[in-house]
Structures are given as C-alpha cells and as structure tokens.
C-alpha cells in the first residue's frame, strides 16, 4: 500500500494539461488528490473537505492564488500551501510567503521536484507544530523577527539584515532546536538555481552573528553543528 494514501492534496491550476499531469504524478506517489481549476472552486473544495496540503497556482481566473491564500489565512485556516510562482524574481517569492504560503516552486518544474517539496512540507508540519512555523512574528528573548515586513529587532533597536541573512534567520528561528543543514538553507533561502555554495551560507550566518552580537564559540542564538549546519538554540515564541 502506498505510504501517502491518507494524505489529501488539492491541486489548483487553470491549465488542464498541468493539472491532469500533476494529478497522475501525485496519485502515483500515493497521495489522494483533488483538483480545482480556479480560485473560487478551490475555496469551495477547501470548505467541503479536510485537506493536508494545497498546491496553488498564482495566476488564475476568478480568484488568483494570492487572494485564495489570503482568504484562507484570514479565516484562520492553516493548511500548508505550496505556491506555484510564475516569476523567479525575489520579490515574487517574498510576496508569496507574505500572503501566507509556506513554500513556493517556480514554473517550470518537474513532478519529482514538486513531490519532494510536498513531502518536506508535510514533514515540517509533523516536526514543528503550527504556531512557530506559520507565525508572522517570532520572538526569542530580546530578539524579535517580523516575517511580513522583513524587519528584525534586538532589544529595542532595529537591525538591518540583508535579504538572505533575514531568510536564514527566519528559517532557523521557525525550527528551534532542529539541525538545519547548509543544503537545506541553500535550497530554501537561495532557491534551486542560484550558483551559490556552502560558504555563502556561512557568510550569511556570520552576518547574523555579527549584527546580533552572537559569538560562534558561546552562542546565545545560533549554534554551528560541525560538518552539518546550524541550529537555533534559544526558545522561540510566536505572536
């Protein structure tokens, strides 16, 4: 029996060829799959069914993906959403996450990539509970991070982090005590296409440490896990 059979996924895309192809691929991976061809249809399915994850295209007739996501979150529905973005520019990724999507994938992609992302998102849900994963504001002692506005404060002073350093800090903070590998950070924060290497991740972690005054040898926030990656070691609360 396939491992994912109890997991229901809704695919929302107005392109028939993409939708039907993805339905076959996900069913073959063992998921139970529902489909919708526009935003309004998606909301109807969401209301009628219990879902584990939604794959949502951005550009669609009637209601677009962003509007659907916004409506869901306003209604306190925290079903994980993977957004299919059209544009690779950083702004598009950030705005997708701002609307409450949990992850994004750029078109064109292959179905293996999509399935890997879906599994990672489902695993994330199991490991870390909703509150911190989905929270827009994360607080750890004197450190405060606001996801939507991309702003960070230490004590009462705001600190200016580069986009990527902010992404790394947000990713680590939303997984307190979990070891996150450099590869995972590269994948999530930099995306699949950027020709960056492990050292790039280290440079950004060094930036965070410098600006937070966090010593690598005796860290208050980010610990280096030798040969693997990093771990956020302080307690994190959501607001």
Partner 1 sequence: MTTRRITWLGILIALGGVALALILRSFTPSSLIVFQIAIAPAVIVLLLALSLSALILGIHLISRRQQARIQNALGELHDSLESERRRFIQRLDHEMKNPLTAIQVQLDNLQSGEGRDLPVVEDVRKQVGRLTSLLRGLRRLVDLETRVLEIEKIDVEELLNEVVELLQAPERIQLDVQHIPWSIPPIYGDRELLLVAFRNLVQNGLRYSGDVIQVRARHTAGHLVVEIIDTGRGIPAEELHLVTEELYRGSNVHDMPGSGLGLSLVKIIVERHGGQLEIRSRPEKGTIATVQIAYEQS
Binding site for partner 1 (CB under 8 A): 15, 17-18, 21-22, 24-25, 28, 86-90, 107-112, 162-164, 193-200, 203, 207
How far apart are alpha carbons 40 and 232 in whole angstroms?
Answer: 39
Name 75's Cβ contacts closer than 8 Å, sequence gap at least 6: none
157 vs 195 by CB, closer to partner 1: 195
Going by the DSSP 8-state scheme, the letter that residue 58 receives in this structure is S
As measured in angstroms, the least distance from the Cβ of 231 to partner 1 is 23
Q: Quick one: CA dihedral 22, 23, 28, 33, positive or negative?
A: positive
Q: With contact defined as beta carbons under 8 Å apart, do 100 and 80 qualify?
A: no
42 vs 105 by CB, closer to partner 1: 105
As measured in angstroms, the least distance from the Cβ of 234 to partner 1 is 26
As measured in angstroms, the least distance from the Cβ of 55 to partner 1 is 12
Q: With contact defined as beta carbons under 8 Å apart, do 36 and 10 qualify?
A: yes
Nearest to 214, CA basis, from 163, 174, 161, 150 = 161
Q: Cα(first)–Cα(last) distance of the chain, in Å?
A: 41
As measured in angstroms, the least distance from the Cβ of 30 to partner 1 is 13
128 vs 203 by CB, closer to partner 1: 203
89 vs 216 by CB, closer to partner 1: 89
């Amino acid at each position: 029996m396939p491992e994912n059979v109890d997991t229901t996924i809704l695919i929302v895309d107005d392109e028939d060829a993409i939708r039907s192809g993805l339905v076959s691929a996900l069913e073959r991976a063992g998921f139970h799959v529902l489909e919708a061809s526009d935003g309004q249809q998606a909301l109807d399915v969401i209301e009628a069914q219990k879902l584990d994850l939604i794959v949502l295209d951005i550009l669609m007739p009637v209601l677009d993906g962003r509007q659907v996501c916004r409506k869901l979150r306003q209604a306190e529905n925290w079903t994980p959403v993977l957004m299919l973005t059209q544009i690779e520019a950083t702004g598009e990724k950030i705005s997708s996450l701002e609307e409450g999507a949990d992850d994004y994938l750029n078109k064109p992609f292959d179905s293996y990539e999509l399935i890997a992302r879906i599994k990672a998102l489902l695993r994330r849900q199991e490991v870390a509970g909703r509150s911190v994963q989905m929270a827009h504001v994360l607080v750890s002692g004197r450190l405060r991070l606001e996801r939507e506005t991309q702003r960070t404060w230490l004590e009462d002073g705001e600190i200016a982090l580069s986009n990527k350093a902010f992404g790394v800090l947000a990713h680590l903070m939303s997984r307190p005590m979990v070891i996150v590998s450099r590869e995972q950070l590269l994948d999530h924060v930099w995306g699949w296409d950027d020709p960056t290497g492990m050292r790039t991740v280290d440079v950004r972690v060094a930036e965070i440490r410098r600006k937070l005054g966090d010593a690598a040898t005796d860290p208050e926030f980010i610990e280096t896990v030798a040969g693997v990656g990093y771990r956020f070691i302080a307690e994190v609360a959501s607001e």
